[in-house]
Amino acid sequence: MRTITLRRSLVALFAAAISFGAITQAQAASDNKSVLRIGYQKYGTLVLLKAKGTLEKRLAEQGVEVKWTEFPGGPQLLEGLNVGSVDFGVTGETPPVFAQAAGADLLYVAHEPPAPTGEAILVPKNSPIKSVAELKGKKVALNKGSNVHYLLVRALEDAGLKYGDITPVYLPPADARAAFERGSVDAWVIWDPFQSAAEKQLQARTLRDGSGLVDNHQFYLATRTYAEKNPQVVGVLVEEIRGVGEWVKGNLDEATSQVAPLIGLSPEITRQAVERQGYGAQFITPEVVEAQQKIADTFTELKLIPKQLTIKDVIWNPPAKVAQNQ
């Protein structure tokens, strides 16, 4: 019964808007033919791209206006993608799996290189818990359907535990941190920059990060309608994202100084998060499809999603002209 309820709650996060999503998307496409609406999160390459303004300049030449909307996490962003409030966005590995399972008409467009240390299972500094195996019977906070959901599953498996051996407490990052601080949960599975902030401000201890367990890719996704109708715009987007990433790799101090005030964190916290991120956006490769399929299969086996998925069915294949320009 618990597995069925859990599965329903995870998929419901995306499925709630499906019934009217197609109508909303069609209307949005009609009303905003020259507008690119991008969903982003509090941290990541898109934050820098937004700050630089280079995308707006390039797309203005094509008569395209860019609008930005911030979301608290990947699942919420993909809800926005599904109902047509945004055309393009970025999430971790797991949200697209649950979105696809819920029927969202999305396409994987590109990915960043692995960043396995950019997410982790944290415990309070004075916690007696010293290993993942000791989480058995404990309360673990996480944002359900997010990238860290898969990290938790894999870490438990590696420690010889099942998902049912812990009590998941599903909370968005801000609420999870509050629960973590007051001791309402025993551990918190979280990503940067929240991870870095907890490590620096709370002296939270890393029980296990993603090293050797997960890739922690960041994925750029679009609605199928937008990607298929606007391949040149999507191509420009990927070029600009890659360009920002390459700039960051050679200018960590300057990138840190730009990102810190945007996310409201100190340079020290921000620098650590910036260093752990992957940079160098590329179109989706067969190897990445295989890795993402493994994630989908894992959640199917756990009965956390209701059906078998085929990831290759939702991969964007850019036109030859666009691909050649990358």
Using left for φ > 0, alpha for ψ between -120 and 50, and beta otherwise, residue 117 falls in: alpha
Task: Decide if 133 contacts 302 (C-beta within 8 A).
Answer: no
**DSSP assignment string, 7-32:** HHHHHHHHHTTHHHHHHHHHHHHHHT
As a whole number of angstroms, the distance between CA 162 and CA 181 comes to: 26
Question: Are residue 135 and residue 157 in the same domain, yes or no?
Answer: yes
Measured at the CA of 309, the angle between CA 306 and CA 312, to 5 degrees, comes to: 165
Res 4 pLDDT > 70: no
Question: Are residue 96 and residue 126 in the same domain, yes or no?
Answer: no
What Å distances lie between residue 141 and 12, 101, 179, CA to CA?
19, 23, 8
Question: pLDDT value at position 159?
Answer: 98
Question: Are residue 205 and residue 154 in the same domain, yes or no?
Answer: yes
CA 131, 137, 141, 147 torsion-angle sign: positive
In the block, tokens 């890393």 appear at 206
Give residue 262's pLDDT band: very low, low, confident or very high (50, 70, 90): confident
Question: Are residue 319 and residue 229 in the same domain, yes or no?
Answer: yes
Measured at the CA of 239, the angle between CA 233 and CA 242, to 5 degrees, comes to: 140
Instruction: Give the model confidence (pLDDT) of 156-175 as tens digits.
Output: 999 999 999 999 999 999 99
Tell me how many domains the chain contains.
2
Task: Decide if 83 contacts 24 (C-beta within 8 A).
Answer: yes
134: CATH:
3.40.190.10
Instruction: Give the model confidence (pLDDT) of 50-78 as tens digits.
Output: 988 999 999 999 899 999 999 888 888 98
Question: Are residue 157 and residue 187 in the same domain, yes or no?
Answer: yes
Question: Are residue 124 and residue 62 in the same domain, yes or no?
Answer: no
* Last residue in a domain, options 150, 177, 209: 209
Can you list the pairs that 243-248 forms with residues at least 24 positions away whose Cβ atoms lie under 8 Å? 243/54, 244/45, 244/48, 244/49, 244/52, 244/54, 245/45, 245/112, 245/279, 245/280, 245/281, 246/279, 246/280, 248/45, 248/48, 248/274, 248/277, 248/279
Question: Are residue 158 and residue 261 in the same domain, yes or no?
Answer: no
Question: pLDDT value at position 30?
Answer: 40
Count CB atoms within 10 A of the CB of residue 286: 9
Question: Are residue 239 and residue 302 in the same domain, yes or no?
Answer: yes
More confident position, 78 or 129: 129
Closest-CA residue to 194 (of 72, 96, 34): 72
Residues in the chain: 326
Amino acid at 99: A
Closest-CA residue to 248 (of 156, 147, 127, 113): 113
Count CB atoms within 10 A of the CB of residue 319: 12
Total H helices, total E strands in the chain = 15, 11
Question: Are residue 203 and residue 277 in the same domain, yes or no?
Answer: no
Count CB atoms within 10 A of the CB of residue 224: 15
* Last residue in a domain, options 177, 209, 241: 209
* Last residue in a domain, options 209, 239, 258: 209
Question: Are residue 102 and residue 221 in the same domain, yes or no?
Answer: yes
Question: Are residue 103 and residue 226 in the same domain, yes or no?
Answer: yes
As a whole number of angstroms, the distance between CA 33 and CA 29 comes to: 6
Amino acid at 236: V
Domain that residue 144 falls in: 116-209
Average pLDDT, the chain: 89
Question: Are residue 87 and residue 131 in the same domain, yes or no?
Answer: no
Question: pLDDT value at position 322?
Answer: 65
Question: pTM of this prediction?
Answer: 0.84
